[in-house]
Amino acid sequence: MKLLGKKIAIMLDQQYQEIEVWHPYYRLKEEGATVDFVAPKAGATYLSKLGYPCVSTVAAADVSGGDYDAVVVPGGWCPDFMRRDESMIGFIRQCVQADIVLAAICHGGWMLCCTDALRNKRATSFIAIRHDMINAGAIWEDAECVVDGKLITARKPDDLPAFVKALINALS
């Protein structure tokens, strides 16, 4: 159990990509981590793109980035909804300020574009948002998983094994 005592936030909103939430969730739990689903509202049910439910643990306004060792930002269409919520933007900015591990996959990089986390950092994302990442200061690479210090990014669900392995390694 490499992550015993570690606390990790998975950001959540409607239209999340199922496997980009549940694969990291179960792998992190298997390694002993405590995992919270951080969303606009606590105790609310958020549906994935295919309608799979996930109940949030805490509201973004009620926690701080410094409460966690890492944050995972999944893709799907949820980052588009998260970017509309000031409490979610505030939470990800606090995570950056707290200098915790930032892990974003697919469209999850959109949330990092709301911060200065990408400035002069190597990163990847789903190809459709690469220009947003570049405009936010990223040195964008088309690679399975890119690790630059405490920033971990991946392109798509097929990259989850490398993405989650890098996240576990960064925390252990």
Alpha helices by DSSP H, 1-137? 18-30, 78-82, 86-97, 109-112, 130-135
Annotation says 145 is catalytic: no
**The one catalytic residue among 106, 113, 114, 145:** 106
78 is catalytic: no
Long-range pairs, 33-36, Cβ under 8 A, ≥24? 33/3, 33/4, 33/6, 33/7, 33/8, 33/171, 34/6, 34/7, 34/8, 35/7, 35/8, 35/9, 35/10, 36/7, 36/8, 36/9, 36/10, 36/63, 36/68
Select which of 78, 107, 114, 145 is catalytic.
Answer: 107
Q: Known catalytic residues?
A: 106-107
